[in-house]
Structure 1
């Protein structure tokens, strides 16, 4: 029995590299990185993070979460039809073509696949090249898909909470009154791979309760399936970390609620349809509420009379080493008051070997930071500011 499980785990892991979504997510992450760098250079003439930043975020944390949730799925015996795996992959690619990255969230891809399974089973539809997989689904509702949906929304919330705020991209925009303002934007993709039980010929039922939902089969196989988790948010009214962490907690709460409610679908199949619809509506509502709340706030990143507000910091720059933070305001350099980028640069030139900064932190308290400057250091310490209108127009 142990040998059979080990062989099936290895075979299932190997199937991950046959799944097109894996390579598609790598491609999209690369595209997101290139587009972000291009926009940042247009706004600030320098990029914040390198073009590979989004690609580096794609795997590590999602892989850990996926393995933890895979143990839960296998232990609980949650089995899904192979047709659902095909449809989820199809909707992931299809919704990505809208160019709106947030539509690749599992609430939409897995939710759409669930309702498609219901329609396919009711009307005996099929998909070319996967005819056998769709013929095996019978006229029934699959609550197991909704449970996987709930777990993936939990995973999405955790990733937003723990990783979403890292490397947010500064961006310049114009307010309705024509004022140049700063915005922070996140476009992020993660991959969460899950081991799923599907009808097969390898694993027999080791326990009376396993799997809970039999799908009309007595034997199952394991497939390591990559799921796309996407996140998009634009923040202009508050510090990005606070807004994103709050959003992540809300998404996690929604995922836990969906997972708990989905279990009732094993006894009342109609509940699964209601819960899947609730997941779609709930996820869209959270996005809308976050947008409206931020839109109603005054601009956080805008020109200040008492100094220059930091909208971004280049990694490995003197500013990062001095532990300057996004949202802080530099009021003086080497004793000279700062009004704009010109006075900032002039104050730096007074002493190219050393700089002392008076900084107003996000709590409204003054602190002092200083550092020796070396040959090759960024000429503006690696700090990105909200440009004045003339410079913004020229850069754009």
Structure 2
């Protein structure tokens, strides 16, 4: 029991985990700062970044460790030292792009590339020998992280897409949306006995059982897509990577010499997927752009009267309490006509008209929960 507590304690002081906590808090305050700069308010003050970091980390600990116990996962410990260094870089860049799978691919490919060029080195990051099942175990780990990444993209609540205004080419303002989530979770792995012991470990029957921190993240930038559709597409891509990694793992088990080719193939697919995400967004039919036809909804604060009206980002408010509105000032002036109730005439992206109504805060009708261009 003491060893278990000691091992968990070692995990909690790992640089990757500590940086993950710091980046989680930093991402939260960065989101609030950007929203206040763009809209003078924080759209959602809920610290869901921290909740996801802990909740998903515990979930991945359970399912990931079950998977590694079933396969009795073994890889040289030096690979994980190299992975920790690369994952730290990926985590520092998580607010711009997702490189979590790249950290593992590059860690696995490095010793293979050195072998090809007959470069010999002895340090804590490069193993001197690789086990026969090196490729298959590496691909299984990639597949596991890709499946966890697909699970993260199931968190598809639109209010978690943080809007940011930029100037369009024709003088009108455009809103882009950014979504990110990540966690650093402990994964139980089996290692051959080795003098290296900086990671948390438990010794049993000559086998070292390590608890290693792993990074899983997902990022979406959209300008023209529906948030739920963008995440669905991203989820499908992660599942493709997981399936391809499992296939390559099976091939590598019988043909170990194909491991480096398989890693290069996965890297190429990841690059292609990043290109396709950008292309799909460009080809989408929506533009979250400022309009003179009415008032465009940029975001909706959760648990407010606007949220109860089932409004969606991108909807255009044409009338409020029977008055036509073309600016946010006109909208809030119309709200004063009935400070206890709000009736809206709204047009969606498909051009369909709908009516929405709800009771509002009688003492603060301006806090209906709509976020507009302003």
Length-normalised TM-score, structure 2 = 0.86
Q: Deviations over 1:339-367 (max 9, x none)?
A: 12121111111121221122334654433
**What is the CA–CA distance in structure 1 between the aligned matches of 2:293 and 2:89, rounded to whole Å?**
49
Q: Which residue of 2 aligns with 1:271?
A: 258
Q: Which residue of 1 aligns with 2:76?
A: 81
Is 1:194 aligned to 2:187, yes or no? yes
The answer for unaligned runs of 5 or more in structure 2 is 194-201
Q: Secondary structure at the match of 2:249?
A: helix
Q: Secondary structure at the match of 1:351?
A: coil
Q: Secondary structure at the match of 2:176?
A: strand
Residues 238 and 294 in structure 1, CA contact (< 8 A), matched pair in contact too? yes
Superposition deviation, residue 114 in structure 1: 0.6
Alignment CA distance shift 1:166-1:343 (3 Å): closer
Alignment CA distance shift 1:47-1:138 (3 Å): same
Superposition deviation, residue 320 in structure 1: 1.8
Aligned pair count reads 363
Is 1:243 aligned to 2:230, yes or no? yes
Alignment CA distance shift 1:255-1:377 (3 Å): farther
Is 1:156 aligned to 2:143, yes or no? no
The answer for unaligned runs of 5 or more in structure 1 is 1-5, 205-218, 388-396
Q: Which residue of 2 aligns with 1:41?
A: 36
Alignment CA distance shift 1:149-1:12 (3 Å): farther
Alignment CA distance shift 1:344-1:240 (3 Å): same
Residues 172 and 290 in structure 2, CA contact (< 8 A), matched pair in contact too? no
Superposition deviation, residue 374 in structure 1: 2.5
Superposition deviation, residue 286 in structure 1: 0.8
| 1:1-396 aligned within 5 A | 12-50=7-45, 52-97=47-92, 101-106=96-101, 108-119=102-113, 123-127=119-123, 130=124, 137-138=129-130, 142-143=134-135, 144-163=137-156, 167-200=160-193, 202-204=203-205, 219-361=206-348, 364-375=351-362, 377=364, 379-387=366-374
Q: Deviations over 1:100-129 (max 9, x none)?
A: 6424322x10011112233566534244xx
Structure 1 stretch displaced more, 260-269 or 323-332? 323-332
**What is the CA–CA distance in structure 2 between the aligned matches of 1:152 and 1:118, rounded to whole Å?**
21
Alignment CA distance shift 1:192-1:99 (3 Å): closer
Residues 345 and 380 in structure 1, CA contact (< 8 A), matched pair in contact too? no
